[in-house]
Homo-oligomer: A and B are copies of this chain.
Amino acid sequence: VTRWKNAVASAATQRELKQDVLYREAAQAFRRNGYHGTSLEDVARALGISKPTLYHYVKNKGDLLFQVHMAGAAQALSTVCHDRTLSGIERLRRTTAAYVRSMIDDESYSVIILEEKSLRPEQLAIVVRERDKFEAELLSMVRDGMRDGSIVPGEPRFALFNVLGAVNWVTKWHRPRGDWSIDEIGDGIATFVCRALSPVPNRFVSGNRLLAPPVPDTIRS
């Protein structure tokens, strides 16, 4: 194993880069083996460093889980499409596709949705607050879409919950090195969500084999 996976480039940003690699590696371990099934030794070994070295970057396993969750929340926010010239549903399409891709990327911090009960209550509260920011962005796209006519009428929060289910569920079923590419999956889930919410659903085709590939106009409704 190479030390720190060769991610260390410049002296100035070394610490940040190392933390970054550490969080990704830890996320992968937590995803694979769960919080209780992961030890700091495992993470240190995967990074090719000693456990004492690891302690320069993280206080303990609980702290590591917390930091990984915070990195995941920041990553989610970074996928938000802020282009206000676009309709609500188009911003939703771009954001869900990017968010899904970010969650299943090899480099993902992922959300580790299943391990939140291992966080301390005060840590969980902070993580939830961070994640709420992302959900609030999605909700505002849904509201805008209902206002601009690009999303069917309804309760915005109900639509949001359905969207979150479809997009977050990918962490439950996706296996790295499966048959479907990350782009196909992101595009396919965004298509699923937008078809469900659009008043003109057949405008949304995934452009790939996973869901609703483009079809001749004649069989469209």
A157 CB, nearest partner CB in chain B, Å: 9
A70 CB, nearest partner CB in chain B, Å: 20
A211 touches B114 (CB 8 A): no
Interface of chain A residues 32 through 80 with chain B (CB within 8 A): 34, 36
The secondary-structure label for the interface of chain A is: helix
Q: A201-B202, A221-B199, A221-B201 are in contact. Are A164 and B169 (CB under 8 A)?
A: yes
Q: How many chain A residues touch the partner (CB < 8 A)?
A: 46
A213 touches B158 (CB 8 A): no
A173 touches B161 (CB 8 A): yes
List 10 extra interface pairs beyond A165-B167, A199-B202, CB under 8 A: A153-B212, A154-B206, A154-B209, A154-B211, A154-B212, A158-B211, A161-B169, A162-B192, A169-B169, A201-B221
Residues of A at the B interface (CB closer than 8 Å) are 34, 36, 114, 117, 152-155, 158-159, 161-162, 164-170, 172-173, 180, 185, 188-189, 192-193, 195-203, 206, 209-213, 215, 219-221
